[in-house]
Amino acid sequence: MVYKICVIKGDGIGNDVIDAGLKLLSQININFDYIPAEAGYDCYLKNGTSIPQTTIDACRNSDATLFGAVSSPPDIPNYKSAIVTMRKELDLFVNVRPIKSLPIEISRQNIDIVIMRENTEGMYKGIEREENGVAIAERHISEKASRRLAEFTYKYAIENNRKKVTVVHKANVLRKTCGLFRRTVFSVSEKYPQIETEEVIVDAMAMRLIKEPERFDVVVTTNLFGDILSDEASQLVGGLGIAPSGNIGEKNALFEPVHGSAPKYAGKDIANPTATFLSAAMMLDFLGEKKEGDRIRKSIYKTFAEGKRTKDLGGNLGTLAFTEAVINNLE
């Protein structure tokens, strides 16, 4: 079988890490048909839009999308975030962010968390206005989005032998929005009594991720909270350079490293491609090719165990040399 994969390199080091990812994927036992597409700030400068309709259509008509990184400048009126737009247009309702210890010195050990972040609404709905010197942003939390996120989370827990789900919210203050989210997730949890369910207020969660990350298993939360907490948690195991993610919907899925475009490092053979490699492994899981996804993960772990690192992790390997090391360790 040949899988059709939309490839969006984006801006900055997105080009470097996606090139490395495609080189790694060329060494596994699966055939791909790559469909290149554009998105991001460079795309905006070229085409007048950060996310052309042709790109959205290419993603929609592919088996999956592999995405690099994009710049989102804050001071351009009506500028659209490419990745936020694609999450909405493709209805990629859950953002799956694994946080797992690696055999490197700066990684805390015994951490294995999966953060499930609602991906289409909340504060990222993007509905803002100014009135009389006051900036106002609307926070949309719906029962529908909360319920399907919860269903996905508990099914994932069952299928992956997870034991506990932690519901993170701020319902003690945001009584309407977080209150609805909390009630909905707990109503879904009643269908899965074999999974322990607990709740933690978001500010306490931020503290406990630092204090006792080992005790968390699967975490489910709203869009903004999940964005912040997953970035925080990634630092415990090595930083954004090793943090993968999957944006998953009913029909489409997009996989991307969590890090940004870091334009000052672009083209310098510096970028750490690990997050892209792990995102590609998640893509293979989604396609039903978990065996090949596991091969990539095992090779990455073996490479780190041999002491081979990129510079951000205290090593001396560039993007290309690290990629070759991972390829050489494929079994």
228 lies in the same domain as 131: yes
216 lies in the same domain as 283: no
232 lies in the same domain as 245: no
129 lies in the same domain as 26: no
Q: What is the DSSP letter of 263?
A: G
Of the residues 179, 205, 237, which one is the last residue of a structural domain?
A: 237
Of the residues 217, 237, 257, which one is the last residue of a structural domain?
A: 237
Is position 136 within any domain?
yes
Question: What φ, ψ does residue 9 adopt, rounded to 5°?
Answer: -75, -40
52 lies in the same domain as 124: no
pLDDT at 313: 94
Is position 158 within any domain?
yes
Beta-carbon neighbour count of residue 231 at 10 Å?
Answer: 16
Note down the domain range covering 207. Answer: 108-237
pLDDT at 1: 87
List, run by run, the mean pLDDT of 10-residue segments along the chain (331 residues).
96 97 97 97 94 97 97 84 93 97 95 97 91 96 97 97 98 97 98 98 98 98 97 95 96 96 95 98 97 97 97 95 98 90
158 lies in the same domain as 205: yes
Is position 100 within any domain?
no
Count up the domains in the chain and report the number.
2
Within the chain, where are the H helices? 14-25, 41-47, 53-60, 82-89, 143-159, 177-189, 202-211, 223-237, 274-286, 290-305, 319-328
pLDDT at 126: 84
Of the residues 180, 207, 237, which one is the last residue of a structural domain?
A: 237
DSSP 3-state assignment of 37?
strand
pLDDT at 211: 97
pLDDT at 83: 92
Is position 276 within any domain?
yes
Q: What CATH code is carried by the domain that includes residue 219?
A: 3.40.718.10
168 lies in the same domain as 203: yes
Q: Does the global pTM surpass 0.75?
A: yes
**In contact, 79 and 39? CB cutoff 8 Å:** no
